[in-house]
Amino acid sequence: MPDRQLAATGKHLPPSVDRGSMSDVDFSVEKYEKHRHAGEILAEVRDEAAERVEVGVSHLEIAEWAEDRIRELGGKPAFPVNISIDEEAAHATPSIDDEATFGEELVNLDIGVSIDGWLADTAVTVNLSGHDELTEASEEALDAALEIVEPGVETGEIGRVVEETIDGYGFNPVVNLTGHGLGQYEQHTEPNIPNRAVSQSATLSAGDVVAIEPFATDGAGKVREGSDEEIFALDREGSVRNRRARQALEQITEEFKTLPFATRWLDVKRPSMALKRLKRNDIVHGYPVLKEEAGKYVSQKEHTIIVTDDGCEVTTRSR
DSSP state, residue 3 = B
DSSP state, residue 218 = S
Q: Could you confirm whether 64 is annotated as catalytic? A: no
Q: Could you confirm whether 40 is annotated as catalytic? A: no
Q: Which of 86, 154, 218, 302 is catalytic?
A: 302
The response to whether 12 counts as a known ligand-binding position is no
Q: Could you confirm whether 303 is annotated as catalytic? A: no
Provide Rg for the chain, Cα atoms. Answer: 19
Q: Which of 188, 208, 229, 230 is catalytic?
A: 188
SS3 state of residue 141: helix
Q: Could you confirm whether 213 is annotated as catalytic? A: yes
The response to whether 121 counts as a known ligand-binding position is yes
C-alpha distance from residue 313 to each of 39, 146, 186, 251 (Å): 11, 9, 20, 35
Q: In angstroms, how far apart are the furthest CA atoms of the chain?
A: 56
Q: Which of 37, 180, 292, 303 is catalytic?
A: 180
The response to whether 180 counts as a known ligand-binding position is yes
Q: Which helix (H) or strand (E) holds 82?
A: strand 82-85
Give the residue among 201, 210, 190, 211 at the shortest CA–CA distance from 153: 201
The response to whether 186 counts as a known ligand-binding position is no
Q: Which of 86, 154, 213, 230 is catalytic?
A: 213
Q: Which of 86, 105, 110, 157 is catalytic?
A: 110
The response to whether 110 counts as a known ligand-binding position is yes
SS3 state of residue 100: coil
Q: What 3 state SS string does 144-203 have?
A: HHHHHCCCCCEHHHHHHHHHHHHHHCCCEECCCCEEEEEECCEEEEEEEECCCCCCCCCE
Indicate the annotated binding residues for a divalent metal cation: 110, 121, 180, 213, 302
Instruction: Report the catalytic residues.
Output: 110, 121, 180, 188, 213, 302
Indicate the annotated binding residues for substrate: 91, 188
